[in-house]
Amino acid sequence: MRTERIVLAADHAGFPLKEILKEYLVHKGMDVIDIGTFSEESVDYPAIIRRGCAAVLEQGCTGIVLGGSGNGEAMAANKVAGIRCAVVYSDETARLARAHNDANVMSLGGRLTDPEDAKRFVDIFLATDFEGGRHVQRVEDLETK
């Protein structure tokens, strides 16, 4: 695993999967920082996601954001300077998000992702290193525009 600390942030639709992943990660010995939300009561996700991304940057760790589809959460995360968030929906997107895009946050759709698949995606994401090489300039260009 790349990191021993991970930040979780979710809206109400991502809450159930966040809780499953939190238990899974704690069981694996990870230090989990749970930014919320803490129930399935409807909330607006942008502020929660911004707080989660701030914690990722402050802690120098990896994050997972969750919502219904994960798309809005990824959009909110990518508005935060220094965050590279990828929507993950398969083993390959989990791997490529890290290997090619040096993503420091992954976004999952709580209403679309089977919990066992989500656990596998998290393991792949955390275990994959950035390949560098031809991808360095592209990732740097994301930060400068």
Q: What is the pLDDT of residues 98-118, one digit of tens each?
A: 999 999 999 999 999 999 999
Q: What is the pLDDT of residues 118-128, one digit of tens each?
A: 999 999 999 99
Which has more confidence, 135 or 14?
14
Q: What is the pLDDT of residue 1?
A: 39
Q: How many domains in the chain?
A: 1
Give residue 15's pLDDT band: very low, low, confident or very high (50, 70, 90): very high
Long-range contacts of 118-122 (CB under 8 A, 24+ apart): 118/17, 118/20, 118/21, 119/20, 119/21, 119/24, 120/91, 120/94, 121/88, 121/89, 121/90, 121/91, 121/93, 121/94, 122/21, 122/24, 122/25, 122/64, 122/94
CB atoms within 10 A of CB 15: 20
Which has more confidence, 56 or 136?
56
Q: What is the pLDDT of residue 139?
A: 73
Rounded Cα gap, residues 86 and 103, in angstroms: 6
pLDDT > 70 in the chain, percent: 97
CATH of residue 21:
3.40.1400.10
pTM of the model: 0.93
Query: CA 58, 59, 60, 64 torsion: positive or negative?
Result: negative
Q: Residue 43, class by beta-carbon neighbours within 10 Å (0-12 exposed, 13-18 middle, 19+ buried)?
A: middle
Which residues are the active-site residues?
73, 100
The domain in which residue 82 lies consists of: 5-144
